Amino acid sequence: MTLQRLKVLSKVLPLVSDSFGWSVAESYRIQKRPLFGQEVRAVVPDAATWARDCRPGREERLVEDLAAVSHEKALLAFAARYGLLGYSRMHGDQMRQRKEHWTGDPVTWALAHARIVRGLLSTIGFIEYVRSGRFRLDDSSAPRVGEVLAAEFKKAGIRGPVKEGDAEESWFDYITPEGGERKVWVQGWERDPIGGAYVLLTELINPIIRGVHYEFVPRGQNAAAQLGTRLRWNALLEVIYWQLAESLGGEFRQCQQCRRVFPASGRRVHCSPSCTNKWKCKEYRDRKKQKKARRRRK
């Protein structure tokens, strides 16, 4: 959650999420370690002692700083400021099943998430530009918007859209940070790129933030104690993706005529004047049919 959104929520209920910190060691190094039968390079703390706590709720540039990580030296600098991303926390069940006792972030895994965050941050920035109303989405502009969004997703390592023949549905595929292959199907990308982008964002962000939630907590032990809210999370990476999701603000609607997703503005129910005219013509024809039907019944 960004500092600005924290301030807004604190006006409604006392927010105490900053009391939940994340331990940071004095320094970190890259070391080879066995993981799931393979030897991987991992970011690990130099010592078992922790120097301080990072308060993610107060870090305004947490997402941007991970997005800026593109090589190992930058990854070590990020860890020195914020701590580990939390691989062992997020994959603890799988590691326990294989009887792995392991601490640290695999380098390839951490760099892959940094690339995804970098690409999604750029994608969300472009969606916000569309939402600003500087141009309208219509049949002529939608393909170009789709091209730009596809290029932005490519920065996150997500390739597509791929179509077979004249099919309305297309897909995007990518290699997950854990090394698996995933394919995401999108309906009508060229016609409705914003709606398709939301499908991709859902597939990428939701699996990471499923464990993040707000909880109510008491503040104080006396009769005047207040009830506050706290953001509960398990790993630093979850907070980063949560903030990424929070950064995508504004309302979108689905056009009544063409079903395209478009930025909401006032009472508009259509994405473009063309769809408004088509809808009015349709209503006019429907009214004429209804009048004819009533006359026949008489």
pLDDT at 263: 64
Question: What is the band of 221 on the pLDDT scale with cuts at 50, 70, 90?
Answer: low
* CB-CB contact of 17 with 216 (8 Å): no
Q: How many CB atoms lie within 10 A of CB 79?
A: 25
- The residues pairing with 252 across neighbouring beta strands, listed in sequence order, are 263
pLDDT at 298: 66
What average pLDDT score do residues 121-138 get? 80
For residue 15, give every residue at least 6 positions away whose Cβ sits within 8 Å of its Cβ, in sequence order, or none. 6, 9, 57, 228, 229, 230
What average pLDDT score do residues 264-269 get? 69
pTM of the complete model: 0.77
143-147, 188-192, 258-262: the lowest-pLDDT one = 258-262
Question: What is the band of 83 on the pLDDT scale with cuts at 50, 70, 90?
Answer: very high
Q: Is the pLDDT of residue 123 over 90?
A: yes
On the CB side of 156, CA atoms within 13 Å amount to 27
Q: Is the pLDDT of residue 8 over 90?
A: no
Instruction: Locate 203 and state its tokens.
Output: 């597939």
Helix (H, G, I), strand (E, B) or coil at 266: coil
* CB-CB contact of 33 with 64 (8 Å): no
Domain limits, the chain: 3-252
Q: Which amino acid is at 293?
A: A
Query: Backbone phi, then psi, for 229, in 5-degree steps?
Result: -120, 150
pLDDT tens for each residue of 53-81: 888 878 889 999 999 999 999 999 999 99
* Cis peptide bond N-terminal to 161, omega within 30: yes
Question: What is the band of 132 on the pLDDT scale with cuts at 50, 70, 90?
Answer: confident
Token match 């995508």: residue? Answer: 248
For residue 293, give every residue at least 6 positions away whose Cβ sits within 8 Å of its Cβ, in sequence order, or none. none
Instruction: Locate 59 and state its tokens.
Output: 């870090």
Higher pLDDT, 12 or 45: 45
Question: What is the band of 252 on the pLDDT scale with cuts at 50, 70, 90?
Answer: low
Q: How many CB atoms lie within 10 A of CB 13?
A: 13
